[in-house]
Amino acid sequence: MDMRTEQGRPVRLEDYRPPDWLVESVELDVSLDPTATRVRAALTLRPNGNGAAPAPLMLDGEALTLRALKLDGAALPPEQFVATPDQLTIAQPPQRRFRLEIETVVDPSANTQLLGLYRSGAIYCTQCEAEGFRRITYFPDRPDVMAVYTTRIEAEKADAPVLLANGNLVASGDVPGTMRHFAVWHDPFPKPSYLFALVGGKLACVEDRFRTMSGREVTLRIYVEPGKEPRCAYAMDSLKRAMRWDETAFGREYDLDIFMIVAVSDFNMGAMENKGLNVFNDKYVLASPETATDTDFERIEAIIAHEYFHNWTGNRITCRDWFQLCLKEGLTVFRDQEFSADQRSRAVERISDVRGLRSHQFIEDAGPLAHPVRPTVYREINNFYTATVYEKGAEVVRMLTHLLGPENFLKGMNLYFARHDGDAATIEQFVQCFADVSGADLTQFMLWYSQAGTPEVVATGRYDARAKTYRLDLAQSVPATPGQPSKEPMVVPLAVGLVGRDGRDLPLKLGAGRAIEHGVLILTEPADTFVFADVGEPPVLSLNRGFSAPIKLGANLCADDLRFLAAHDADPFNRWQALQTLATRLLVDNTAAMRANGAARQDPGLLAALGAVLADGTLEPAFVALALTLPGEADIAREIARDVDPDAVFAARRGLQAAVGEHLAEPLLDHYRRLSESGPYEPDAVSAGRRTLRNTCLDLLAATQRADAILLAARQYQAANNMTDRMAALSTLSLCDVPERAAALDDFYARYADDALIVDKWLTLQATIPEPATLDRVKALTKHPAFSFANPNRVRALIHAFALANQKEFNRADGAGYDFIVDTVLALDPKNPQVAARLLSALKSWRVLEPGRRARAEAALRRVAAAPSLSPDVSDIAQRALAKD
Ligand code: 0A1
Ligand code: ZN
């Protein structure tokens, strides 16, 4: 196997230097062959800058075999260059524009890393982000080298009737005297090499059209395995809605004549925004009512939009270097979240996004893999496609809307698009646009990009009836994180409301000549006091509304205050948050009680508050479902923060679910019945919300283990006319130790055995059963004919699901869960380091565990760290996870 030699190389932001050489154009000629694909690259290179010192030319490569090299048409003598699999160096190139022709061969069938040119089934495809282009040809493989690409692809007509690359098709035809044919694609927009893509294979396509706001006609095509065309309708519809939304919300129009999406079954991530030719994990394209759940539909819509939005935030304006990854990812996640909020329900979208942030990013930020939104050092960039860069990166952009107001935010975005179109930009340049349009000083704001760790804000409010003032004391701190022992205070925008007795917001007026704009308090000091004047009655504080800042908030709100907010807050996010806070307090207490073998406490007030939300007919069903969903086990563990016993957490949570199911049995059943639908399945948000609430009711009822509830789930499983309801029933059953479970799981496999994406759901369910037999079942399933270590979706469905979504069994007290994950990581690493490293990061919270498990998890991590010939990906995670600071 071709292991990289730069083991342990750290790359540092402070070492950034502009490239010595620029590439004006790239002409690629790729002759596809399953094991020996020949790549001819003709680069027009020119020195960057004013010719100060003569610069050698050093091109990146990885696992390449050089066949021929010409400079300005003449073969380069061997003494004038050095070619290794990982680099091509010309020590003394002419210091002027010249043409370099490079011929390499690569073996796409042997490419199990799925980076560079590889085969997914019989399809040829590429994945170049972040550093995959160097696995195709020698190139200055860095995002600040932007070139115009022309790509000629040639292949056996019978093997690859469809040949695609970035840009517009300019020529195609047969290769005379052979069974081969070719296609030539030209992309007029200069782009970094990571956005290059080509695809070849037997693909069917679904076509549509889009008329842009200036009246240009764009052809839209989605390519899939023949036979899967009917499952592309929702993806195509989502694409058109995303294109229209980007025009209306951001004034961004599509720029080529054609936009293509290709779905492949072997893909390391969700999807990739290659210019004009997005390549997708087929899981995020294919959907029909019978095969996909509401959540699948929602994810497809969001990811199609995300990749499309990259055309402006990522492609037209790209990143100067990989430290700036959040420039494109945080911003594009912010844009796709806003799209989903506009398409669906803003409140529900916000709550779901914050749940995701807390259960992934907050946990990352609290452990040894914590890093700033813009890291300053990396050993393997693939390990930085993280919740911090993506999700916290989106929160940082969102804070600009709160700090500057929505109008200034849009002005800043417009300036960014106008000023930096065609650039490889930095975070400083992005933030400067907002400073320029608003006049604000955003120096302190930059700390959100450089300081890791989740800031903690403590709020203490006190009402003075005589003075009619409400005094709010705020204090902030940022915990130490690896490499950052002490922190500066952050600028924290806190949307605020003072809720009066009738549930309405009281007017906000600050004393002492201070102003409050757009209902947002701005905390900039370690501690500050805000005094609200003319407050006619004792209010209840509603702070960090809409989760305006990604912080941990502690406020002196008693249980009565929280129940009041749950019933009355005008801000739906904080209504939901109030219930979560109540539930979290109880679950943390009960976890301690479980460990002490004590009896769990009941909280009649919480049960009543949940009942009230369920009874409130004015609330949207999807919101009610979220309100009834208890904090996850990982969220509870994060709150406990030390000496965590996952068995106790599980028992506390399951116990509370059962208590809710008992206490609210009647209204839950009533809702379950009322929400049943007879009409055909529609994937829209309102219909999905009704199904979610109905299935949440079912799940709570079944948590009681009562026979009638189990029967209800078993019946729903059988009678369902769509995958959402069938999966929901099966997932409810799978959490209950009843005979119906095995029968339903067998039935499910029998029904869907030949559909890999559905079999993935079956694998996941079995990996997430909270019982001791699960680990052996998971091990046995790795031998099942439906499973393959070579396919990332299968690995994620079975193994990642076990490690991330089954806290109880992964964290078995005997350490067998950790050992299994580590064995898998070591077996997978030589084949696909990116997927192996991601799996290993499931061990990142090991330090918060109780001593027995902590020792076993540490031993497992040490076993990885000590293993010979690790990939940079896995060794980087192992070392950081174990590091002392
Ligand atoms: N830029 C993509 C994510 C992505 C990153 C790395 C990949 O390498 C295998 C693939 C995709 C996105 O944000 O969607
Ligand atoms: Zn992205």
pLDDT digits (tens, 9 = 90+) for 508-546: 999 888 889 889 999 999 999 999 999 999 999 999 999
pLDDT digits (tens, 9 = 90+) for 550-564: 999 999 999 999 999
**CB proximity list for 24: less than 8 A, separation 6 or greater:** 44, 45, 46, 97, 147, 148
Residue nearest to atom 8 of ligand 1 (CA): 129
Spacing, Cα 317 to ligand 2 middle (Å): 13
Q: Confidence band (pLDDT; 50, 70, 90) for 319?
A: very high
- Closest ligand to residue 331's CA: 2
Q: Does 80 have pLDDT greater than 90?
A: yes
Report yes or no: 500 and 537 within 8 Å, Cβ to Cβ: yes
Spacing, Cα 272 to ligand 1 middle (Å): 5
**Residue 175 DSSP SS3:** coil
pLDDT on residue 6: 46
Mean pLDDT of 36-61: 91
Residue nearest to atom 7 of ligand 1 (CA): 129
- Closest ligand to residue 273's CA: 1
Q: In what order do the strands lie in the sheet with 271-272?
A: 204-211, 217-224, 258-264, 277-281, 271-272
Nearest to 735 by CA among 712, 765, 694: 765
Record the pTM.
0.98
- Closest ligand to residue 327's CA: 2
- Amino acid in position 421: D
Residue nearest to atom 9 of ligand 1 (CA): 268
DSSP state of 71: E
Q: Does 632 have pLDDT greater than 60?
A: yes
pLDDT on residue 1: 34
Ligand 1 atom closest to residue 834's alpha carbon, by position in its atom list: 9
Residue nearest to atom 3 of ligand 1 (CA): 272
Q: Does 2 have pLDDT greater than 50?
A: no
pLDDT on residue 885: 72
Ligand 1 atom closest to residue 306's alpha carbon, by position in its atom list: 14
Among candidate residues 307, 329, 338, 364, the one labeled active-site is 307
| 307 tagged catalytic | yes
Q: Which of 129, 195, 325, 334 to mutate to test the pocket of ligand 1 (most atoms within 8 A of CB)?
A: 129
Spacing, Cα 683 to ligand 1 middle (Å): 27
Question: Which backbone phi and psi does 145 adopt, to 5 degrees?
Answer: -105, 105
Calculate ∠ Cα 792-795-801, nearest 5°: 125
Nearest to 193 by CA among 153, 152, 137: 137
Q: What percent of the chain clears pLDDT 90, i.e. is strictly above it? A: 96
Spacing, Cα 510 to ligand 2 middle (Å): 41
Provide the sign of the torsion angle of the four alpha carbons 134, 140, 146, 150, taken in this order: negative
Ligand 1 atom closest to residue 114's alpha carbon, by position in its atom list: 9
Ligand 1 atom closest to residue 314's alpha carbon, by position in its atom list: 1
Cis previous bond, 165, omega within 30 = no
Ligand 1 atom closest to residue 385's alpha carbon, by position in its atom list: 5
- Closest ligand to residue 833's CA: 1
Spacing, Cα 130 to ligand 1 middle (Å): 8
Q: Does 5 have pLDDT greater than 50?
A: no
Q: What percent of the chain clears pLDDT 70, i.e. is strictly above it? A: 99
Q: Does 737 have pLDDT greater than 50?
A: yes
Spacing, Cα 306 to ligand 2 middle (Å): 6
Q: Confidence band (pLDDT; 50, 70, 90) for 820?
A: very high
pLDDT on residue 622: 98
Residue nearest to atom 6 of ligand 1 (CA): 129
Report yes or no: 810 and 770 within 8 Å, Cβ to Cβ: no
Burial (0-12, 13-18, 19+ Cβ within 10 Å), 502: exposed
Ligand 1 atom closest to residue 130's alpha carbon, by position in its atom list: 6
Q: Which of 385, 386, 793, 835 to mutate to test the pocket of ligand 1 (most atoms within 8 A of CB)?
A: 385
Spacing, Cα 329 to ligand 1 middle (Å): 9
337/312 Cα distance (integer angstroms): 16
Nearest to 562 by CA among 612, 616, 518, 626: 612
360/848 Cα distance (integer angstroms): 15
Residue nearest to atom 13 of ligand 1 (CA): 329
Mean pLDDT of 15-31: 98
pLDDT on residue 49: 81
pLDDT digits (tens, 9 = 90+) for 857-872: 999 999 999 999 999 9
Q: Output the six-digit token pair for 248.
A: 């209306």
Report yes or no: 720 and 746 within 8 Å, Cβ to Cβ: no
Spacing, Cα 418 to ligand 1 middle (Å): 26
- Closest ligand to residue 197's CA: 1
- Write out residues with Cβ below 6 Å of ligand 1: 127, 129, 268-273, 306-307, 329, 385
Q: Confidence band (pLDDT; 50, 70, 90) for 51?
A: low
pLDDT on residue 8: 46
Q: Which of 118, 128, 269 to mutate to test the pocket of ligand 1 (most atoms within 8 A of CB)?
A: 269
Spacing, Cα 268 to ligand 1 middle (Å): 8
Mean pLDDT of 667-679: 94
Buried/exposed code over 124-133 (b: 16+ C-beta within 10 A; e: otherwise) = bbbbbbbbbb
Q: Strands 318-319 and 424-425, how do they pair?
A: parallel
First to last CA, the chain: 34
Q: Confidence band (pLDDT; 50, 70, 90) for 50?
A: low
Residue nearest to atom 10 of ligand 1 (CA): 269
Residue with tokens 């950034």, as numbered in its chain: 16
DSSP state of 497: E
Q: Which residues surround ligand 2, an ion (CB under 5 A)?
A: 329, 332
Q: Strands 57-60 and 65-71, how do they pair?
A: unpaired
Report yes or no: 133 and 145 within 8 Å, Cβ to Cβ: no
Report yes or no: 551 and 457 within 8 Å, Cβ to Cβ: yes
Residue nearest to atom 5 of ligand 1 (CA): 129
Q: Does 211 have pLDDT greater than 70?
A: yes
Whole-number average pLDDT of the chain: 97
pLDDT digits (tens, 9 = 90+) for 588-625: 999 999 999 888 999 999 999 999 999 999 999 999 99
Alpha helices in 279-345, H assignment, sequence order: 294-309, 325-343
Residue nearest to atom 12 of ligand 1 (CA): 272
**CB proximity list for 772: less than 8 A, separation 6 or greater:** 809, 812
Mean pLDDT of 435-440: 98
pLDDT digits (tens, 9 = 90+) for 109-125: 999 999 999 999 999 99
Ligand 1 atom closest to residue 307's alpha carbon, by position in its atom list: 14
